[in-house]
């Protein structure tokens, strides 16, 4: 890269000479700053001192503290190694050169571990490749550091956060009076490619906080992180090339492991998402272990662009947004039909599964949120206002209101489990820059429900929740992944209660019969949870459903019930659960999953009646209005006399009407319609009554392929 080949022999070349050489190269490239930031030279000088100390300590430990250790591999095989000497990479090479080459990161005793970091004692060892979610996050985190190095060299600003995200990574930088243009992406990508070619090693150091405050004194954002986030005397930094950054790690062995990298987009954001803080420039990227995967990703992105729910929503006149109410969707009649059909679908499931629907207030006094704990941690994301010198807020979730419902009178064990469902309108004060169609909004509704139950009922209730989501996702044609997240380090409550609850969740998942993954320590502080990710038609995963146990909210609201033994201080457990999640977001996912070709039962355009000519228009209107519309079907009639019959049929097919019913004098005489589908499959003439009967059956049964089954 522009910097690193000057610094890679920093021990044999003076930092001053290196800086001069960098300045010359930057001038030649005609893409650089007016002067090289001095902080890079100062940072490297201090780092070299710290690195020598680290290497000396490691050499001492290897020489004086090393001992034979036992390492248990994934398949149960036990191998021997030496503490402070043997690394996961060395063991990987001993197993298979292919495995060593493909391994992204190690996992030692359940903790992610750099492949070149020496083992310290007896341990279990896993070697993770890119197809593992944790390894993928590490891979993208390392890619973010490559991007950060390129950004620091090109813009010279202050790097902030550079995390992996769900699909790739991004890095934020503070650049005063400057934004990022897409025309600069090729220059940044070229720098990244050079960094990758150099195979810069990722080096890890643990350093005292006060030393790091000196190292990063040029960057107020890194100093904020150190002062506000780091609660320990020491923390870790990572180096690749001239880049040195605060980072927990771990990382890939070297930058050469990133085989294909692309800069995707840029945007503005605020420091830590707070609108009263500095504006930062955020650059997004994606990377893969080979170019074939990158090409496949690009193909999916192109398909996703064609399926974008915002495009479909506009073309099909489903919804729109307006600047006068940002983040709040206007659902047009056909969009409202979609919305209500989804809610009616869930309501039907609620009745079958003994959920009771309730209606709760939208506005609550802030005292409620203080009691629930949301005010202390979430108030910035709430719309609050003053009424008669009291602070109120629009509810961002339903659970505290449901706690008031449970507590409004004495409860008995005979009432449990109590399943309260609520489609109440929720508001969250998302930053304007993060709003994105229906996937990120300020006003939304959820198929939200809370189950109040005993500890002993957890397993059966979780089983019911899993069956619920399988049934719903089956109708949509989604496959899904299950992830159990267990007790984190900062958990609250009794460890025995946690153990018992986690065991019941595991039993429920095992009995469910679907494969599931364990995410140790990834649960919420108030209870373990099951996360569910659905897979759409183009292979993307979306998290919608959640099943979350909560031991703390019943304590905060002092919820009790009378047990079988007469004890009136029994504490219930709350299960938070949703299947669709946000109805708005689910509509976006479904629109993109189906590509706008809605299944018949959900379609906002089910039937188009097309008259052969003007003499058939009255019959066409009668068929549509008096029969199909009256039967509860979303039906229209095309009376545009400027279009030919074939043009009308084609227009209806392009508009994604599931069925096109052509009517002429013959059909009128027989009280019939001539049926064809949006894919131009002709079913021929059928009586109106038979057609209605079939279509009503399709609507009720929610079959995905009504057009073929007709």
Enzyme catalytic residues: 399, 428, 446, 448, 450, 529, 576
Residue 572 CA to its chain's centroid (Å): 31
Give the H/E segment covering residue 545. strand 541-550
Q: How far is CA 286 from CA 178, 188, 241, 297, in A?
A: 24, 13, 21, 9
Q: Report which of 547, 399, 402 is spatially closest to residue 463, judged by C-alpha positions.
A: 547
Token pair in block for residue 344: 């009616």
Residue identified by tokens 């503290």 is 65
Buried b (16+ CB within 10 A) or exposed e, 128-141: bebebeebbbbbbb
Q: Are the beta carbons of 550 and 576 closer than 8 angstroms?
A: yes
User: Distance between CA atoms of 207 and 272, rounded to whole angstroms?
Assistant: 24
Residue 657 CA to its chain's centroid (Å): 32
- Phi/psi for 604 (5° steps) reads -80, -5
User: Distance between CA atoms of 309 and 332, rounded to whole angstroms?
Assistant: 15
Token pair in block for residue 470: 């399988």
User: Distance between CA atoms of 202 and 205, rounded to whole angstroms?
Assistant: 10
Token pair in block for residue 51: 């690195």
Contacts 24+ apart (CB under 8 A), 469-473: 469/532, 469/545, 469/579, 470/512, 470/514, 471/349, 472/345, 472/346, 472/349, 472/579, 472/580, 473/534, 473/545, 473/579
Q: Are the beta carbons of 237 and 247 closer than 8 angstroms?
A: yes
Mapped onto helix, strand or coil, the DSSP state of residue 255 is: helix
Q: Are the beta carbons of 146 and 195 closer than 8 angstroms?
A: yes
Token pair in block for residue 439: 């996937």
Q: What is the DSSP string of 61-110?
A: HHHHT--EEEEEETTS-EEEEETTT--HHHHHHHH-HHHHHH--EEEETT
440: DSSP letter: B
Mapped onto helix, strand or coil, the DSSP state of residue 577 is: strand
234: DSSP letter: E
Please classify residue 490 by burial: count the beta carbons closer than 10 Å to its beta carbon, then call 0-12 exposed, 13-18 middle and 19+ buried.
Answer: exposed
Instruction: Provide Rg for the chain, Cα atoms.
Output: 30
Helix axes 15-29, 38-64, angle to 10 degrees: 130
Q: Are the beta carbons of 610 and 652 closer than 8 angstroms?
A: yes
Number of H helices, E strands in the chain: 24, 33
Backbone torsion region of residue 32, taken as left when φ is above 0, otherwise alpha when ψ lies between -120 and 50, otherwise beta = beta
Q: How far is CA 338 from CA 70, 381, 486, 512, 587, in A?
A: 59, 28, 36, 30, 8
């Amino acid at each position: 890269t522009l910097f690193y080949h000057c610094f890679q022999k920093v021990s044999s070349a003076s930092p001053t000479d290196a800086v001069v050489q960098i300045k010359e190269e930057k001038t030649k490239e005609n893409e650089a700053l007016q002067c090289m930031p001095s902080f890079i030279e100062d940072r490297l000088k201090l780092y070299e001192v710290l690195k020598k100390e680290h290497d000396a300590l490691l050499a001492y430990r290897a020489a004086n503290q090393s001992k034979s250790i036992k390492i248990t591999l994934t398949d149960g095989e036990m191998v021997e190694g030496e503490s402070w000497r043997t690394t996961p990479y060395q063991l990987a090479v001993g197993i298979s050169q292919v495995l060593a080459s493909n391994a992204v990161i190690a996992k030692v005793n359940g903790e992610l571990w750099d492949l070149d970091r020496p083992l310290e004692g007896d341990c279990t060892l896993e070697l993770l490749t890119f197809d593992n979610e944790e390894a993928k996050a590490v891979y993208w985190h390392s890619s973010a550091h490559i991007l950060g190095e390129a950004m620091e060299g090109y813009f010279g600003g202050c790097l902030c956060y550079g995390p992996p995200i769900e699909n790739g990574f991004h890095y934020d930088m503070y650049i005063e009076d400057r934004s990022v243009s897409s025309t600069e992406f090729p220059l940044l990508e070229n720098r990244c490619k050079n960094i990758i070619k150099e195979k810069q090693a990722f080096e890890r150091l643990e350093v005292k906080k006060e030393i790091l405050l000196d190292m990063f004194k040029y960057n107020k954002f890194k100093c904020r992180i150190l002062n506000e986030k780091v609660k320990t005397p020491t923390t870790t930094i990572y180096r690749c090339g001239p880049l040195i950054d605060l980072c927990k790690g771990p990382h890939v062995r070297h930058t050469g492991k990133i085989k294909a990298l692309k800069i995707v987009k840029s945007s503005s954001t605020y420091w830590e998402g707070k609108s009263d803080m500095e504006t930062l420039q955020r650059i997004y990227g994606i990377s893969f272990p080979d170019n074939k995967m990158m090409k496949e990703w690009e193909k999916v992105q192109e398909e996703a662009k064609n399926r974008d729910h915002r495009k479909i929503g506009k073309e099909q006149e489903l919804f729109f947004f307006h600047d006068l109410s940002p983040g709040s969707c206007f659902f047009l009649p056909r969009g409202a039909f979609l919305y209500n059909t989804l809610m009616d679908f869930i309501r039907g499931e609620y009745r079958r599964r003994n959920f009771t629907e309730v209606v709760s207030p939208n506005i609550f006094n802030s005292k409620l949120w203080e009691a629930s704990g949301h005010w202390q941690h979430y108030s910035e994301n709430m719309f609050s206002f003053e009424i008669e010198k009291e602070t109120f807020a629009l509810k961002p979730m339903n659970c505290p209101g449901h706690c008031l419902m449970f507590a409004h009178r004495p409860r008995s064990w005979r009432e449990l489990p109590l399943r309260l469902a609520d489609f109440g309108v929720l508001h969250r004060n998302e930053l304007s820059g993060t709003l994105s169609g229906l996937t990120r909004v300020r006003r939304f509704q959820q198929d939200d429900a809370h189950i109040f139950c005993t500890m002993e009922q957890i397993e059966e209730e979780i089983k019911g929740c899993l069956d619920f989501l399988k049934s719903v996702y089956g109708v949509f044609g989604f496959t899904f992944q299950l992830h159990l997240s267990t007790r984190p380090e900062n958990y609250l409550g009794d460890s025995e209660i946690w153990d018992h609850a986690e065991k019941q969740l595991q039993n429920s998942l095992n009995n469910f019969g679907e494969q599931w993954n364990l995410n140790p320590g990834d649960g919420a502080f108030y209870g373990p949870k099951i996360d569910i990710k659905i897979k759409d038609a183009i292979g993307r995963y979306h998290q919608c459903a959640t099943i979350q146990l909560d031991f703390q909210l019943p304590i905060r609201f002092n919820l009790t019930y009378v047990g079988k033994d007469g004890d009136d201080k029994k504490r219930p457990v709350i299960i938070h659960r949703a299947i669709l999640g946000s109805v708005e977001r689910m509509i976006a996912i479904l629109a993109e999953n189906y590509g706008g070709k809605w299944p018949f039962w959900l379609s906002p355009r089910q039937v188009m009646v097309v008259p052969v000519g003007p003499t058939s228009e009255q019959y066409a209107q009668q068929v549509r209005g008096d029969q199909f519309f009256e039967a509860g079907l979303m039906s229209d009639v095309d009376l545009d006399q400027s279009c030919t019959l074939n043009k009308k049929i084609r227009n209806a097919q392009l508009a994604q009407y599931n069925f096109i019913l052509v009517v002429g004098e013959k059909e009128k005489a027989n009280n019939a319609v001539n049926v064809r589908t949006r894919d131009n499959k002709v079913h021929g003439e059928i009586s109106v009554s038979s057609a209605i009967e079939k279509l009503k059956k399709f609507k009720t049964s929610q079959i995905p392929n009504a057009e073929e089954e007709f």
